[in-house]
Structure 1
Amino acid sequence: MSSEKPIRFGVLGCANIARKVSRAIRLAPNAALQAVGSRTREKASAFAAENGFPESAKIYGSYEAVLDDPDVDAVYVPLPTSLHAKWAVLAAQKKKHLLLEKPVALNAAELDTILAACESNGVQYMDATMWMHHPRTALMKQFLSDPHRFGQLKSVHSVFSYCPGEEFLRNDIRVKPDLDALGALGDTGWYCIRAILWANDYELPKTVTALREPEYNEAGVILSCAASLSWADSRIATFYCSFLTNLTMDISCAGAKGNLRVHDFVIPFREKAAKFYGASNSTFSTLALGCEPEPSEHAVETDLPQEALMVAEFARLAGSIERDGSKPEKKWGSISRKTQLVVDAVKASIERGFEPVEVVN
């Protein structure tokens, strides 16, 4: 992989998350930092200096200049969600492969416009949901797919919450209705919904019902909410997402023959090692004084952090298109779209007085 010509990345904007992804681009063996653009050249220059950009990297005082740079193969877009449709479509039209921060759009219609632009211009699309690329995730999926150890999936519960502090709650883009109107639902809720769909092999639920009493800020942006999802065969799922609750990153899956739990699915507690817990064919011990067998701990190590693995996979796909004329991998767009459809359904259920909303693909 490292012998191949690296995919050269441009970064649109200097959001905080862009610091982490810029580091990931540096760590990925098949990627390189080529350019960064901001609304001012001074801000872009400071960002590049603070985040390990090579001296050869281009510094631009606009997003357009990054997209017009012929030496940029791909762009990472961490802009506010309200700006995604404009800049993601323009990036695709400029033939730049697109790594798009989540939530990817304000609604599925916007995302469809983005995906259509990527397809018509032959560029690779991927959303930046990093945990999908950790080797632990693949191992957990093997466990969930084992008919003897786990059996039929019955329920999933996911929680992602954190307390970012008063400064965040006053000024961050994620609490501004004109920048990221989806609030916690689009940020932490995106992860919860993705986890539920992942556990269900990306089969969309039949209905989504938001739970009562979501919390809002004064501008009407969601700070916490929850919802239940149901499938025709009696599978159910629930999630809770929040900016007002202590850091929690859990997935709990219950199957007919086993269960799986992970307590740090979004960002592993340790960068290069991650754990999950599985149990199979559990029963109460004598006099119900315990259970047996006890859940087993599975530790998964990785040389590269999950965000660098994400960049490496994206660069591999983009490189295959650039070098070999391969077709873009469409599964990432499909997964994004299904996640967005459920986000939209939760929002619609809240707006309709917490009525069930049918999810239509």
Structure 2
Amino acid sequence: MASAPIKFGILGCAKIARKLSRAIVLSGNAAIAAIGSRSLEKAVGFARENGFPESARAYGSYAAVLDDPDVDAVYIPLPTSLHVQWAVLAARKGKHVLLEKPVALSVSELDVILGECESSGVQFMDTTMWMHHPRTHQMKDFLSDSTTFGQLKSVESNFSFPADKAFLENDIRVKPDLDALGVLGDAGWYCIRSILWAADYDLPKSAVALPDAVLNDAGVVLSCSAELQWQDGRAGSFRCSFLADLNMDVTILGTNGTLSVHDYVGPFQENRATFSTHVKSGSVLEHTVTTELPQEALMVREFSRLVASIKFGAAKPEKKWPTLSRKTQAVVDAVKMSIDRGYKIVDVTY
């Protein structure tokens, strides 16, 4: 017998919350219970504009969502500088935490969040949506095949998009008091996660930012690139930018084969995604993967499954997801430190 749906509260009316609201509805095992904003009027308007069920409650504060006894889990799309405050409070209230990336401004901040989630027995997951697409699992099957792919040698990952003047002047991702990591925490998070994913989450020994970073007048990174190095010779490189044309390419090179994908962050088509593989024999294959649900709905479904196993089955929170967030944040920290130190090589610590 299927368990009751996991009831979500949403903290804030960020643009990305529109996509997640739809994902909650589509997931099949979750429901929207509440939305909170600093303004009741804004919360009511957001609920109306996004077709929330009549049963969903609108609140004029984030705290009111956390105090709602019907809310099982919260999705937090607030500016990164607010994550520690609200994720910790959510965990203390017994709410499971689905946290927008970047999850924190540093590993030390993230440790505060993860420590509270662990002590409170709640599930933590970040919103790196592409990890939940079935294409990702099929690509991993190719990378895990020692005959067709071989041993990993290098990964090149990119995520850029051309931000307009209004974005570069007003978006929270360019404000030092809101999202001080800028493009590194936003687009760079995806690049770093893709490299770690290809390397089976084995952390690199060191990171170095290349001397091409572009910062705004407030010191927030708008564009940067970096190289990662492992002790065994594996290498990773990435470029993230608010100042270049749309690019979501990843190329993964092995001793026997290569994998390439052009839209890893978000498939160009919601229910259909592709990637290509090349092997030493010279054969190039184009792979198409279909899915009934978009990747964000699959993410909500998996998160809600984990929450349900805790709520209804007495399971313990899955540690995989907080571990992956912490490893990604550790590399973000190292690249940011490299930029701050004048592009010096920095050891990645975990």
Q: Normalised by the shorter chain, which TM-score bucket?
A: over 0.9
Which residue number corresponds to residue 306 of structure 1? 295
Which residue number corresponds to residue 220 of structure 2? 221
Which residue number corresponds to residue 120 of structure 1? 119
Large movers: runs of 4+ above 3 Å: none
Which residue number corresponds to residue 338 of structure 2? 349
TM-score under structure 2 normalisation? 0.99
In structure 2, C-alpha distance between the alignment counterparts of 1:110 and 1:142, rounded to whole Å: 34
In structure 2, C-alpha distance between the alignment counterparts of 1:5 and 1:240, rounded to whole Å: 43
In structure 1, C-alpha distance between the alignment counterparts of 2:40 and 2:126, rounded to whole Å: 27
Task: State the identity as a percent.
Answer: 64
Q: Is contact 2:3–2:312 with CA below 8 Å preserved after alignment?
A: no
Partner secondary structure for residue 259 of structure 1? strand
| TM-aligned CA deviation for residue 216 of structure 1 | 1.1
Question: What amino acid sits opposite 1:152 in the alignment?
Answer: Q
Stretches of structure 1 that go unaligned for 5 or more consecutive residues are: 283-291
Question: What amino acid sits opposite 1:24 in the alignment?
Answer: A
Partner secondary structure for residue 82 of structure 1? helix
Question: What amino acid sits opposite 1:204 in the alignment?
Answer: L
Partner secondary structure for residue 324 of structure 1? coil
Q: Point out the more displaced range, 318-327 or 213-222.
A: 213-222
In structure 2, C-alpha distance between the alignment counterparts of 1:223 and 1:242, rounded to whole Å: 6
Taking the TM superposition and a 5 Å limit, the aligned residue runs for 1:235-254 are 235-254=234-253
TM-score under structure 1 normalisation? 0.96
Which residue number corresponds to residue 270 of structure 2? 271
Taking the TM superposition and a 5 Å limit, the aligned residue runs for 1:307-346 are 307-346=296-335
Q: Deviations over 1:220-241 (max 9, x none)?
A: 1100000000001100010000
Which residue number corresponds to residue 97 of structure 2? 98
Which residue number corresponds to residue 173 of structure 1? 172
Establish whether residue 141 from structure 1 lines up as the match of residue 140 from structure 2: yes
Partner secondary structure for residue 239 of structure 1? strand
Q: Deviations over 1:195-249 (max 9, x none)?
A: 0000000000000011002001111110000000000110001000000011100
Establish whether residue 358 from structure 1 lines up as the match of residue 337 from structure 2: no
Compute the RMSD of aligned alpha carbons.
0.7
In structure 1, C-alpha distance between the alignment counterparts of 2:15 and 2:58, rounded to whole Å: 18
Q: Deviations over 1:149-172 (max 9, x none)?
A: 000000000000001211111100
In structure 1, C-alpha distance between the alignment counterparts of 2:43 and 2:125, rounded to whole Å: 24
Partner secondary structure for residue 259 of structure 2? strand
Stretches of structure 2 that go unaligned for 5 or more consecutive residues are: none
Q: Deviations over 1:10-51 (max 9, x none)?
A: 000000000000000010100000000000000000000111
Question: What amino acid sits opposite 2:33 in the alignment?
Answer: Q
Partner secondary structure for residue 205 of structure 1? coil
Which residue number corresponds to residue 66 of structure 1? 65
Q: Deviations over 1:105-139 (max 9, x none)?
A: 00000000000000000000000010000000000
Establish whether residue 30 from structure 1 lines up as the match of residue 19 from structure 2: no
